[in-house]
Amino acid sequence: MRRKAWFVVAVTVQVAALLIMIGIKWSTLAYGTKIILKTVPVDPWDVFRGDYITLNYEVSTLDLKRVNSGNEKFKPNDTVYITLVPDGKYRAAAAVSHRRPESGKLFMKGVINYYDEFSNNININYGIDSFYVPQHQGKDIENNGRISLEAEVSVDSRGNSALSKLFVDGKEIKFE
Amino acid sequence: MNKTGIPPGKNLTWLDREVEEWKSEGVISAEQAEAILKRYKNRQELEQGGQLVTVLAVIGALLLGIGVILFFAANWQAIPKWVKVSLIMGSIIVSYTAGFYFAFAKNNYPRVGRSLVFLGSILYGSGIWLIAQIFHISSHYPNGVLMWGLGIIPVAFVCGSLSILIEASILLTIWTVMEQTGFLHYNWLFPFFASVLVYLAYRLKSPLGVGLTIPGFVLWLALSCLVSMKTSEGTSFLFTFLLISVVGLLVYAIGVLHSVRDRTSVMKLPWQIVGLLSILISFFILSFRFLVHEGMLDHGSFKISAFYLLAFSLMTISSIMSLFYCYKINKQERLPVLEPLLLLGITGVVVFLGGIMYSWQETWFVAAVNVALFFIIIAVIAVGYRTRQPILVNLGLGFFVLDVIARYFDFFWDMLDKSVFFMVGGLLLLLGGTVLERNRRKVLREMRVNDYAA
């Protein structure tokens, strides 16, 4: 039965795709360096509104006058690497570049959302700016505007990052 | 695939006609004619019952899929990570395995089995979304839709599944819209993926599958045009609609090419419908003065892009070439050459309109579009009548009504008192609708009678 064999292949492709999706994030979570990033919630606009909190990290928006950019030109959809340095208990961006920093340094990979010529700012998406929460609970956290929000993020040696925990006023958000 | 040997509705109409002729020529007796027809009519009823089962089963699969997603979403916090992942994987595999067993291995419940396979493809998609949730993944959101659309294509091929094909073509169209509007690039991968789907639709011999995949191409090209012209948005929109009408011409011309051979003539219809709709909708939109006015406001900073010019000329040239090819073939077979001529006429009109538009003569442009739209509608109806294609007559009449309503609003909205405006409008619609429907039925009936006589 050739159809059966091909069917097994087709379904395996789908399951494998999902497993790869999990595997990439899982390896970053398991083997990456854990860091704490300062963040604020932003009002999300989405069909699943309220089902996740959109996070805006301090390292998401970089002022090119303050961060070392080596006079490189940036445009939307460019892949960039930011070098992280300790800043109290948090990590802050020290440099941004199209080139991957040498190994040994801690850095994160992201894609430029937009470049604001006027303020000389760039906004970077690291793929960790959504924290999913049970239905309707996201709004409570977002509406509470003056809270301090911190995220625990794992960063692996190639700059991939994964969001693991979110802390409100120092307390971890848990739904389990 | 299960071949039951049941002819689809169109073949039955053909059989009706043929049996009538055999009877009149004395090839078979009246009783034999009746026996033959009865044999197939019974089967047709059986088939229609089966279609109902398919529809019910597909709806059932959809509801079950939505239910599973909602169950996960509602009980999310109560389930540990790895249980969630195993539940997702498990439900996908169970649904596919059961589907394959019923539809192909045992073949005892083919329709239910196929619906379960369809359910599997939906569960796979929700799996992507749920895993993104579990691991808080948010990078480049169109990728999720792409992963879903691409992932189910192999299953559609192996099972010859029309529902999964349609699902994939809708998903990939959504994907390219997300990519192109959100990240402003040409997304050259889309035509490649969509061609695979068109190929599959042809393999499945499904006009519906073809008809639902081609609009994706039209949309992709339109968005690529908008992406290529970054300056002055309004004007770019006007030019893009003009381009869509040329794309429509090419799509229609490809449909006409299908009628050259008997084997491919079934596939003429979806191309015709998508092509005509693209032409008529874009002309209809350009026929509104206020839209054109808004669009031309910022034409000072407008620059036409090389991509646009290339696409426009390629479309025009290839539709004209395919029309000449049809014309040559048709001349030998003495088939009506009206359709190619109609398209040739529209091509001329579009190129002419492009010229006026680029000289920014707003009034002339709107006037020309309105005259052209009116004549194209009449020509479509006339050609449909002469070449006995009900679809052309129906589409033409539909747009005729739309056009009349739109122009009524255009001309009388400011002139008449609102109460009079609506009353007169309502009366006109009622009267016009009755007259039109009577005539439409008459025309279609005549066409059928002529068909028998021919």
**What is the pLDDT at residue B52?**
75
* B 430-449 residues with CB < 8 A to A: none
Contact check, Cβ <8 Å, B104/A76: no
Judging contacts by C-beta atoms under 8 Å, the chain B residues touching residue A128 are: 136, 138-139
What's the mean per-residue pLDDT of chain B? Answer: 82
Q: Nearest by CB to A15, from B92, B132, B133: name it.
A: B92
CA distance A67 to chain B (A): 24
Note the pLDDT of residue B217.
93
Residues of chain A in contact with residue B133, where contact means CB-CB under 8 angstroms, are: 52, 132
- Residue A69, pLDDT > 70, answer yes
Q: Is A134 in contact with B76 (Cβ distance < 8 A)?
A: yes
Q: Who contacts A125 (Cβ-Cβ below 8 Å, separation ≥6)?
A: A60, A110, A111, A112, A113, B138, B139, B140
Average pLDDT of every residue of chain A: 82
Mean pLDDT of A12-21: 94
A104 vs chain B: nearest CA distance in angstroms? 25
- How much of chain B exceeds pLDDT 90, in percent? 23
Phi and psi (nearest 5°) for A121?
-105, 150
Distances (CA, A) of B323 to B272, B341, B396, B403: 14, 8, 21, 28
How close, in Å, is residue A76 to chain B by CA atoms? 8
- Residues of A with CB below 8 A from B85's CB? 22
What is the pLDDT confidence band of residue A50, given thresholds at 50, 70 and 90? very low
What lies within 8 Å, CB to CB, of B308 at 6+ separation is: B225, B228, B229, B239, B243
Q: Is the pLDDT of residue A142 over 90?
A: no
pLDDT at residue B235 tops 60: yes
Tell me the pLDDT band of B101, cut-offs 50, 70 and 90: very high
In angstroms, what separates the C-alpha of A1 from chain B's closest C-alpha? Answer: 9
Nearest CB to A135; choose among B73, B93, B158:
B73
Closest residue to A134, CB basis, from B77, B154, B185: B77
- Candidates B233, B247, B304; CA nearest to B276 is B247
Q: Cβ separation of A18 and B127 shorter than 8 Å?
A: yes
Q: Note whether A11 contacts B120, CB cutoff 8 Å.
A: yes
Query: Per mean pLDDT, which of B276-280, B366-370, B425-429 is the most reliable?
Result: B276-280
Residue B138 tokens, joined: 């948010």
pLDDT at B7: 45
Averaged pLDDT, A37-61 = 69
Question: Greatest CA separation found in chain A?
Answer: 66
Residue B443, pLDDT > 90, answer no
Indicate whether B76 pLDDT > 70: no
Contacts of A18 in chain B (CB under 8 A): 88-89, 92, 124, 127-128, 131
The answer to whether B2 faces chain A, any CB pair under 8 Å, is no
End-to-end CA distance of chain B: 37
What pLDDT is stored for residue B75 in this prediction?
Answer: 65
| B146 pLDDT tier (thresholds 50, 70, 90) | very high
**From CA B438, how far away is CA A5, in angstroms rounded?**
57
Q: Are the C-beta atoms of B194 and B256 separated by less than 8 Å? A: no
Residue written as token pair 């793929």: A127
More confident residue, B251 or B3: B251
Q: Do B124 and A134 lie within an 8 Å CB cutoff?
A: no
Q: Among residues B165, B175, B220, B247, which one has the least CA distance to residue B198? A: B165
Query: What is the value of pTM for the model shown?
Result: 0.81
A170 CB-near residues (< 8 Å, 6+ apart): A148, A150
pLDDT at B8: 52
Residue pointed to by tokens 């006609």: B17
Do residues A154 and A34 touch, judged by C-beta distance below 8 A?
yes
Percent of chain B exceeding pLDDT 70 equals: 90
Q: What is the mean pLDDT of residues A84-109?
A: 87
- The interface predicted TM-score of the complex, written ipTM, equals 0.82
pLDDT band at B172 (very low <50, low <70, confident <90, very high): very high
Percent above pLDDT 70 for chain A: 84
The mean-pLDDT minimum among A139-153, B56-70, B184-198 falls in A139-153
- Of B87-101, B281-295, B416-430, the range with the highest mean pLDDT is B87-101
The whole-angstrom separation of Cα B378 and Cα B391 is 14
A163 neighbourhood in chain B, CB within 8 Å = 136
Tell me the mean pLDDT in the region B162-170. Answer: 94
